[in-house]
Structure 1
Amino acid sequence: MISEKKLAEKRLTEAYKNAKIEYFDNNSKYIFFSDCHRGDSTPSDEFAKNQNIFLFALEFYFNNGYTYVEAGDGDELWESSNFKAIRLAHDEVYSLLKKFFDSNRLIMLYGNHNIYLKYKNFVKKNYYKFYDDYNQEDVELFPGITPYEAVVFKHKNTGQEILAVHGHQGDRMNDKLWHFTRLTVRYFWRYLHSIGFINPASPVRNAEKIHKIERIYSNWIEMNKIMVICGHTHRPHFPKVEELPYFNDGSCVRASGIQGIEIVDGKITLIEWSIRYDPSGDLHIRKKVLRGPKPIEEFDLRTNKANIIK
């Protein structure tokens, strides 16, 4: 059996070669969120507790001209195959996502938990439009949308590339064996999940698995000289000076709030939106910079500018 390291290298290379190309420059603005795991408002719906934070943050990014990149696992389609129930549970979220889509500022990637988005018929049936039971009419949602496994962001002037994937590529139980893992989640782990138990196939709260994925991805980055932004592990990561350019945007289901990655003015920043109180005791949703900003060119491994110690 092929090792997980070799599998990840093969899958990442395949994703890179088949990726959509998105050209950008220093005037471009992107916000990356992943692992929202939007559910159907049952006790296992982890996104529900952070929905208002997410809406507030996304409204900010829409009003300030950002393109929203959802880097996989936006919808929790393993626990619930009924997208209609998910859409109804988070109607405000999809209304806001539609504003990004209608402005040509929505890029959607699929991960393991919403891998159904790789199938055009499923996307067409569920995401192009929906039936409004109240008004008894079809309503457009994301007509013609194409979710991707990977997107390569390529700088118009420097040619520097950034590979964006969900991050499950090469994680055997969540990639090649996803059919089996999905069944265990839907018919077993979903119910234990609602009372705090975690599926052992998930990298979440499994430090050894998280670090293994990070090492494997870093090896691919070093071999291919390409920066990577992903999610999947739910562990936000911004490389230190001596580390290779592996970035992880965290998740939208952590108790502390939602993490994401901004690219703006040619710089990259790891951020977190959360609820904080002021001296008067009022609660506010605020953005905090966790790491950065750093010029993207510092992470270009093709040049001597890369701030990496070998």
Structure 2
Amino acid sequence: MADKLGRIHRELEKSYKKAKRVQVKIDEAKWIIFSDHHRGSRDGADDFLICEKTYLKALEHYNNNDFNLCLLGDVEEFWENSPLVVMTKYANVLQAEKAFFDKDRLHRIWGNHDDDWRIAGQISKHLGWMFPKIKVNESIVMELTMNNKCREVLLVHGHQGTLNSDRLAWLSRLFVRFIWRNIQRLFKVALSTPANNTKLKSEHDRAMYQWADYNDKVIICGHTHHPVFMSYTHADKLKHELREMETKFEKSPSPENDQALTDLRQKLFEIQMDEGDSLQIFNPKPFYFNSGCCSFSDGDITGLEIADGHIRLVKWTADCHEPMILGTTELSYLLEYC
């Protein structure tokens, strides 16, 4: 485990050192960060298909409000499909993203499932026709500033240093494209990765947090499909609600209160099984954020907004016209935290 953790941290450090740097003033920041679309070929193995309408609605909202769009990796699913197929099938979505590019407000980062974008020739061939001279980075360091204070924020997909997603990605790709994709199409069985293995999710979340903690920097990533806000997961939030409810109902027991506690404990159990548990770190620094994904099976998508002097974890659903805010804090808090 120690060797695995060290490997992840070494690769994150490399990503940090070679990152593109962007200076952003807190009072001017307007960014939306989405990740893990996994756009495929519009078949039964395409995880993005059910989320497409929701995503396009969100893009329209952010473009109309002059946001920067940051795509944090695994936007395309190249382990299962060729670039030509994906880019052809989703030309309409690319066109919606181009509205940001035309205003110099599109930022792309590659992940393990769309790492073809590491290669300039692939970018020119498959992205250049829609986005002339676009650059796709492994990482971006956002230098958040206010007055004379600055906090560095590392934007990275988050697969760096993991065995099957980074070091042996070529072998994983072959397995997924020629064997697993057919199994997935037939039986809808998930591959064991941090995106769908709750134990791996929690381990990976802790690895990302520990890098941020040690380096005293904020890290924003995707990869696990597991939304995290200020180093707290959904399970953390429910545990907090459960503790408050237990304290409140201790002095006033009743069948209704007992049922409410039972329901909340059941919900917590389901979230732990489906999304993963907490980071299991006492009083963590608020330095780890995860955007979640744009490929939830119910059609919802999550992302991170940086705007109006705040950072927010947001969710879009098929029937909403404004984002639901799942978590929010002032950016100045991150700058001043020590």
Give the letter aligned to residue 266 of structure 1.
G
How many residue pairs get aligned? The number is 282
- SS in structure 2 at match of 1:153: strand
Equivalent of 2:207 in 216, 221, 232 = 216
In 2, the alpha carbon distance for the partners of 1:287 and 1:97 equals 18
Deviation per CA, 1:170-220, whole angstroms, max 9, x where unpaired? 2211011101111111011112222311112x2122111011111111111
Shift of 1:285: 4.6
In 2, the alpha carbon distance for the partners of 1:221 and 1:265 equals 24
- SS in structure 2 at match of 1:43: coil
Tell me, yes or no, if the aligned pair for 1:192 and 1:198 is still in contact at 8 Å.
no
- SS in structure 2 at match of 1:3: helix
In 1, the alpha carbon distance for the partners of 2:24 and 2:177 equals 39
Task: Confirm or deny that 1:57 pairs with 2:48.
Answer: no
In 2, the alpha carbon distance for the partners of 1:41 and 1:205 equals 21
In 2, the alpha carbon distance for the partners of 1:126 and 1:216 equals 33
In 1, the alpha carbon distance for the partners of 2:144 and 2:194 equals 32
In 2, the alpha carbon distance for the partners of 1:28 and 1:114 equals 27
Equivalent position of 2:315 in the other structure: 272
* Higher share in strand: 1
Equivalent position of 2:85 in the other structure: 85
TM-score by length of 1: 0.87
Change (3 A) 1:196 1:286: farther
Give the letter aligned to residue 258 of structure 1.
I
Equivalent of 2:191 in 182, 193, 199 = 199
Task: Confirm or deny that 1:291 pairs with 2:327.
Answer: yes
- SS in structure 1 at match of 2:59: helix
In 2, the alpha carbon distance for the partners of 1:62 and 1:71 equals 17
In 2, the alpha carbon distance for the partners of 1:271 and 1:246 equals 16
Equivalent position of 2:283 in the other structure: 242
- SS in structure 2 at match of 1:39: coil
Shift of 1:41: 0.9
- The within-5 A match list for 1:172-187 is 172-187=163-178
Deviation per CA, 1:69-109, whole angstroms, max 9, x where unpaired? 0000011111112x232122222211111111111000000
- SS in structure 1 at match of 2:318: strand
Give the letter aligned to residue 144 of structure 2.
H
Shift of 1:265: 1.9
Give the letter aligned to residue 69 of structure 1.
C
Tell me, yes or no, if the aligned pair for 1:8 and 1:169 is still in contact at 8 Å.
yes
In 1, the alpha carbon distance for the partners of 2:333 and 2:150 equals 14
Where does the alignment leave 5 or more consecutive residues of structure 1 unmatched?
Answer: 130-140, 277-283
Give the letter aligned to residue 38 of structure 2.
H
Shift of 1:246: 0.7
- SS in structure 2 at match of 1:46: coil
In 2, the alpha carbon distance for the partners of 1:89 and 1:298 equals 43
- The within-5 A match list for 1:94-113 is 94-113=94-113
Identity %: 32
- The within-5 A match list for 1:1-310 is 3-25=3-25, 26-81=27-82, 83-129=83-129, 141-157=130-146, 158-194=149-185, 195-200=187-192, 202-239=193-230, 240=232, 242-244=283-285, 245-256=287-298, 257-276=300-319, 284-292=320-328, 294-300=329-335, 303=336, 305-306=337-338
Deviation per CA, 1:140-182, whole angstroms, max 9, x where unpaired? x111111001000002442211000001012211011101111
Tell me, yes or no, if the aligned pair for 1:53 and 1:285 is still in contact at 8 Å.
no
Which range moves more in the overlay, 241-250 or 262-271?
241-250
Give the letter aligned to residue 154 of structure 1.
E
Give the letter aligned to residue 196 of structure 1.
K
- Whose Rg is larger? 2
What stretches of structure 1 move > 3 A for 4+ residues in a row? none
Shift of 1:8: 0.7
- SS in structure 1 at match of 2:226: coil
Give the letter aligned to residue 310 of structure 2.
K
In 1, the alpha carbon distance for the partners of 2:144 and 2:318 equals 35
In 1, the alpha carbon distance for the partners of 2:94 and 2:322 equals 22
Tell me, yes or no, if the aligned pair for 2:47 and 2:297 is still in contact at 8 Å.
no
Shift of 1:37: 0.6
Tell me, yes or no, if the aligned pair for 1:166 and 1:230 is still in contact at 8 Å.
yes
Tell me, yes or no, if the aligned pair for 1:275 and 1:286 is still in contact at 8 Å.
no
Change (3 A) 1:288 1:2: closer
In 1, the alpha carbon distance for the partners of 2:132 and 2:8 equals 33
* Higher share in helix: 2
In 1, the alpha carbon distance for the partners of 2:198 and 2:105 equals 35
Which range moves more in the overlay, 159-168 or 1-10?
1-10
